[in-house]
Amino acid sequence: LNRDGVVKIANHGQGREMSPDSPERAVTKEEESKMRQFLSNSFPALANSPIVFTRICLYCDTHDGNFWIAPDPDRPGLIIAAGDCGHGFKFAPVLGEIIADAVEGKSNPLLEKFRWRPEVKAGEAKEAARFQVNL
CB 81 within 8 A of CB 108: no
For residue 102, what are the CA distances in angstroms to 17, 48, 54, 69, 123? 28, 48, 39, 7, 27
Alpha helix segments (H runs only) across 5-66: 29-42
At 70-100, the pLDDT tens digits run 999 999 999 999 877 666 778 888 899 999 9
pTM: 0.61
Going along 1-83, which residue ranges are E strands? 68-71, 79-82
Q: Is the sign of the CA dihedral 128, 129, 130, 131 positive or negative?
A: positive
| Domain definitions of the chain by residue range | 1-58, 68-131
